[in-house]
Structure 1
Amino acid sequence: MFWTQRVVVGDAERALIYRNRRFERVLSPGVHRVSGWRDRVEVVLHDIAKPEYSGKDTDVLVAALGARLDEHFVLADIGVDQVGLVMKNGKLEDLLAPGSRKLYWKGLVAIEIVAATLSPGLEIRSELSQRLRQIGLLDRIALSITVPNESAGLLYVDGKLARTLGAGSYAFWNFQKNVAVELVELRVQSVEVSGQELLTRDKVSLRVNLAASMRVTDPVAARSKVAKYNDYLYRELQYGLRKAVSAKTLDELLGDKASLDADIFGYVRGQVSELGMEVLGVGVKDVILPGEMKEILNSVVQAEKSAQANVIRRREEANATRSLLNTAKLIEDSPTLMRLKELEALEKVTEKIDKLTVFGGLDGVLKQVLSLKSG
């Protein structure tokens, strides 16, 4: 008849009938005739291969269908403290934010909605986070973080510290609250303080390079009691170095750098002990003097060494003279020893003579030994 409309609905389709812009009914697969006498009838076909209902009248359908809603749809009505897990054919395929309300067509795809209550700590179970990562949803609706070994993670929820995380992988819902994680290194770290211009107690200007090693023992204290713990430690090393150098003369610094290290270490350790940090060691690497001061020190050292050499030389000369005196006394008291010394002298002389003519025997040689010359 001219006031009826023939509607064909396929197996992968559903049709919604609106009469005079008001929802009337749902048409299942098949051939239907819809009367349109004196009414404005609209037929809207939906492809249920994609089960998410794409219309904007979800609440209208829920109210109009009432108890018959379950014949055609699966209703996802998620609370404000819940997330909806959309299971398609038994597999997690989508996730609904808190407070969501959505319809899914029944038919081709088996749809199940699982409402999961958000935990107070907002942490997501590991198996759920892995699936969300597989389908590309995790980074959109959650904060995922990996805490390396020898590190700690500080979890902040709406700006407040919630807990400390050990090494491992974590994921937290990012709904309704602002979630952030800050990593804190727990391994030993080195701090360099270079090129510090300082004055000693005797007003000598010099430059000092310092190195220290530290580690964080309490990450919560290190981040809550001081803004930037590395900067704070650097400044305290500067202050400790300045204080220790100004209390010593140049000679004391150069003569005993170990005491300088101990003074700086004691000062800095006391300043940071309650801030979650432990200073393991402090050492002065270099003490750099101005050019003119180097020349003065070199002159002083050279003079000291020359004086020491003169003292040693005089002492050796005195010892040699004393030895000669003792030898002379022995020769005076012993004619035989005198004769041996004469023979020794003759042997030394003859080593330097190419030709020797002897007159008057050996006694004549000994008498004239002082007048002999080399050939």
Structure 2
Amino acid sequence: MKMIQRVVIGDGERVLVYRNRQFQRVLGPGAYWLFAPFSQVEVVVHDIGKPEYAGRDVEALIGALGARLSEHFALADLGMTEVGLVLKNGKIEDVLAPGTRKLYWTGLVPVEVRAISVADSLEVPAHVVRRLRQLGVLDKVAVPLVVPAESAGLVFIDGKLARVLEAGAYAFWNFQKNVAAEVIELRVQSVEVSGQELLTRDKVSLRVNLAASMRVTDAVAARTKVAKYGDYLYRELQYGLRKAVSAKTLDELLGDKASLDADIYGYVRGRMGEMGVEVLGVGVKDVILPGEMKEILNSVVQAEKAAQANVIRRREEANAMRSALNTARLMEESPTLLRLKELETLEKVTEKIDKLTVFGGLEGVLGQLVKPVKSA
């Protein structure tokens, strides 16, 4: 057994001396002779370039050094409602959880431990958020949340709504309590309800596509009064559409689609208002009929159009006969007008004749072409 032991310590080192497995003292840089004639001396060299004390005897060192602890160590002693920020050379380098008790060497790197109370608020200060994001440890110690413009952020702590946030970047310590954050969009959104198979009041089957626009006006109500307000709105649009279609016949439905939109809108708006969701508009995009129903409707339309054409034709014939009767009456009352009509007729006839032989002058031609019928 060696009676004297020489120890050389560098500038970036510290030595803990143990005698008979009990802590005795801390040695700084230099050369030392340790005399131990009747006891066993152990020296443990520590690299203080890494300030975190890695030994397992933290409590023994604190008790043994007492008031001299600050000469060699910085003590992090956090309460159960405190988070510790470890600063090295004035910069945040680490985060300590509540209740942590830890030692840091202070001889080479300046170390400071700042305690932040989380008893009243779990929000992480903005400058700390930026530094922790830079270090890449933000997600490990906090719940980050970015709230875009035209949105609202909801923070739940242990299942209870704690805060409503406007647009911006936030983070909340995730120690001891369960922190959850959600973003609710406040912009106008569209909802499509497609391929709904429905029956009208007169038992006609058809398929309807519906579109609606909505926006969240109360983020808290939309999140807390219903599990998923989007699914709830979709279901209410289905119910409103089925109710409105079943109350109308096919003719009423096709003839006044605007009233169908109004009926659905009135039903859904009343149901969604208490959920913090405003329905801005509802419109039926397509009404699709089965193939056989299309053929029947086409036949009906063709029959209606044919009837309308017959009515128009009869009306025009009546107008033509009435005009001819009036012309005949005028010619009967005026021989000159009758003569002009004869000449007009002769002109039209001669346009289609290549050669014409005239006997007896113009009177002979007219006598042969136009023979008035004398009444008995």
Asked whether the two chains share a fold, i.e. TM above 0.5, the reply is yes
Partner of 2:153: 153
Partner of 1:33: 33
Partner of 1:335: 335
Partner of 1:225: 225
Partner of 1:61: 61
**Following the alignment from structure 1 to structure 2, what is the Cα–Cα distance between the partners of residues 133 and 291?**
62
Q: Any residues of structure 2 matched to 1:315-334 within 5 Å, and which?
A: 315-334=315-334
**Following the alignment from structure 1 to structure 2, what is the Cα–Cα distance between the partners of residues 227 and 11?**
63
1:153 partner SS? strand
Change (3 A) 1:2 1:323: closer
Q: CA deviation at 1:232?
A: 0.9
Partner of 2:12: 12
Partner of 1:172: 172
Q: Any residues of structure 2 matched to 1:1-375 within 5 Å, and which?
A: 2-118=2-118, 120-370=120-370
**Following the alignment from structure 2 to structure 1, what is the Cα–Cα distance between the partners of residues 299 and 29?**
109
**Following the alignment from structure 1 to structure 2, what is the Cα–Cα distance between the partners of residues 105 and 243?**
76
Q: CA deviation at 1:73?
A: 1.4
2:251 partner SS? helix
**Following the alignment from structure 1 to structure 2, what is the Cα–Cα distance between the partners of residues 200 and 90?**
76
Deviations 1:226-266 (A, max 9, x none): 11111111111111111111111111001000001001100
**Following the alignment from structure 1 to structure 2, what is the Cα–Cα distance between the partners of residues 271 and 135?**
48
**Following the alignment from structure 1 to structure 2, what is the Cα–Cα distance between the partners of residues 329 and 11?**
137
**Following the alignment from structure 1 to structure 2, what is the Cα–Cα distance between the partners of residues 74 and 243?**
73
Percent sequence identity is 74
Which range is displaced more, 95-104 or 279-288? 95-104
2:67 partner SS? helix
Change (3 A) 1:153 1:2: closer
Change (3 A) 1:2 1:263: closer
2:120 partner SS? coil
Q: Which runs of 5+ in 2 are unaligned?
A: 372-376
Q: Which runs of 5+ in 1 are unaligned?
A: none
**Following the alignment from structure 2 to structure 1, what is the Cα–Cα distance between the partners of residues 278 and 162?**
24
**Following the alignment from structure 2 to structure 1, what is the Cα–Cα distance between the partners of residues 2 and 15?**
21
Q: Which amino acid aligns with 2:223?
A: R
Q: CA deviation at 1:106?
A: 2.1
**CA RMSD, Structure 1 to Structure 2 (Å):** 1.3
**Following the alignment from structure 1 to structure 2, what is the Cα–Cα distance between the partners of residues 106 and 37?**
33
After TM superposition, which residue ranges in structure 1, 4 or more long, deviate above 2 angstroms?
Answer: none
Change (3 A) 1:59 1:333: same
Q: CA deviation at 1:36?
A: 1.7
TM-score (norm 1): 0.96
**Following the alignment from structure 2 to structure 1, what is the Cα–Cα distance between the partners of residues 135 and 226?**
41
User: How many matched pairs?
Assistant: 371
TM-score (norm 2): 0.96
Q: CA deviation at 1:145?
A: 1.3
